[in-house]
Structure 1
């Protein structure tokens, strides 16, 4: 049985979208879905129950705690950890599970990203035009809303220290030959609808990478000038987008500096616009 763990903090507006797509074509008992409503003040729990999945609740608003509780309650492998605000179809979940179940298969898997840009301002579109072309973004498990593991992969990520950037930490826990992006699986991840919300995401990313580097004493995933120049060399028309990307990176580092100096790795700057 494939287990699916969904940590959900005030996700009543979007959780039904995820569960509806995930279960639309699922056979009875095919997926063991556990939604962990953590620190919720909305009807996240009610939405989850209306879809007939198992629901755990905790007053602690912590994704890490929610993942721990969901993991302890999950019944099978492969195991998918899925963000509540994305969209994942039955077929995509099956493809991820199949990739991990194949003989000699990888320890961890993730889907391709679908990033709908309709209604997004040019600044957001330009940023993602560069971000999606970065080599470490294309190869990493992070930023996809789903990480799937087998039993051995699960043991590895459970041994990781707590980190805000849990998906990046999980990605770095596996060597390139131990992880795979499954072409037959796609997840819809909604980009921010405003530049301000894009900046919130990026400040959180900079802060979380700093935390990860301190906790693991290893370099996180960072973009350098060479990466941007390589993209522009192949696609000169992306030069303005690369300039904007660099500006966002500088602004995000400056805004994150105070939290990093204070060791504040708990304040979660959430993008609400993509949930509307």
Structure 2
């Protein structure tokens, strides 16, 4: 009923969990799943090959998400097409919910409602996400969910995009508000960074990617955060004054730190946080003992 393309770079801590979730709520053969292990130095490919039901695994030597997506799309044979990050939990049942509006011709792209568990996160990280999740563009956009689903027409639009560091933002902004939909009945579990340091690493990558998107003119004005929006949040909920201050501080720090990459034109270095995967490692180990 759909093809799921999963680019995976050193995701041995999360790929088993991701594939187990996809197998939930569907029958074997309902989904074509393609995992593209790119530039891996761990057991990502081996773990994916041991999945039940089986999935298709491709290996490429280059550690590149955009190239992995290209290879995955060339391998996949079914539409709708589900673009799924390797560290995101999305059930097969929710995949079916996401493809229905596309099959019905109602929109060109869908994404699930996001769930961002805060357990184990430091208080600056929790406060940051308390603000971030309330931003209008974050609520309505398809980015930041680790999942974008498109039909054939939507995929052609994505294929025409330049290769971007902030690929999910570019994918979201490729569609107007009436062409995309957040399906509230489907849920993606997005594990946030647990430490402030790892949050900054993620935000530096995002700031760098946003700059690239602005330069390529593929970012919509509605995807930007204005001071007016932040002030309105505090006016509506005064308790958010502290979290908004943390949000602004993180954003400004990330902007300053991203200047070197932007000046160098480095839009390929992937600033990845590892702390969001720590819980997965413990969960796998715990599951093996139980």
Which TM-score tier does this pair reach, normalised by the shorter chain?
over 0.9
Q: Pick which of 216-225 and 250-259 moved more.
A: 216-225
1:62 is aligned to 64
Corresponding position: 1:9 with 2:9: yes
Relative to structure 1, the CA distance from residue 37 to residue 217 in structure 2 (aligned partners, 3 Å threshold; closer, same or farther) is: closer
Give the paired residue count. Answer: 275
1:246 is aligned to 248
Distance 1:199 1:107 in 2: 33
Alpha-carbon distance, 1:214 to partner:
1.1
Q: Pick which of 104-113 and 23-32 moved more.
A: 23-32
Contact 2:15–2:48 (CA under 8 A) maintained in structure 1:
yes
For residues 70-129 of structure 1, what are the alpha-carbon distances to aligned partners after superposition, in whole Å with 9 as ceiling and x for unaligned?
001111111100000010112111110112112x31100000000000111110010000
1:81 is aligned to 83
Distance 1:13 1:28 in 2: 24
Distance 2:18 2:199 in 1: 22
1:97 is aligned to 99
Unaligned runs of at least 5 residues, structure 1: none
For residues 220-274 of structure 1, what are the alpha-carbon distances to aligned partners after superposition, in whole Å with 9 as ceiling and x for unaligned?
6321110101111111111000011111111111000111111111111101010
Alpha-carbon distance, 1:25 to partner:
2.9
Distance 1:27 1:217 in 2: 38
- SS, match of residue 12 in structure 1: coil
Equivalent residues in 2 for 1:137-156, closer than 5 Å: 137-156=138-157
Corresponding position: 1:32 with 2:32: yes
Give the structure-1-normalised TM-score: 0.97
Alpha-carbon distance, 1:195 to partner:
0.3
Corresponding position: 1:22 with 2:31: no
2:201 is aligned to 200
Distance 1:216 1:163 in 2: 12
Moved over 3 A (4+): 217-220
Equivalent residues in 2 for 1:227-266, closer than 5 Å: 227-266=229-268
Distance 1:195 1:222 in 2: 22
Corresponding position: 1:46 with 2:49: no
2:132 is aligned to 131
For residues 186-214 of structure 1, what are the alpha-carbon distances to aligned partners after superposition, in whole Å with 9 as ceiling and x for unaligned?
00000101000000011110000001111
Distance 1:130 1:99 in 2: 30
Distance 1:219 1:112 in 2: 21
Unaligned runs of at least 5 residues, structure 2: 279-290
Distance 1:217 1:67 in 2: 19
Alpha-carbon distance, 1:218 to partner:
5.1
Distance 1:36 1:167 in 2: 18
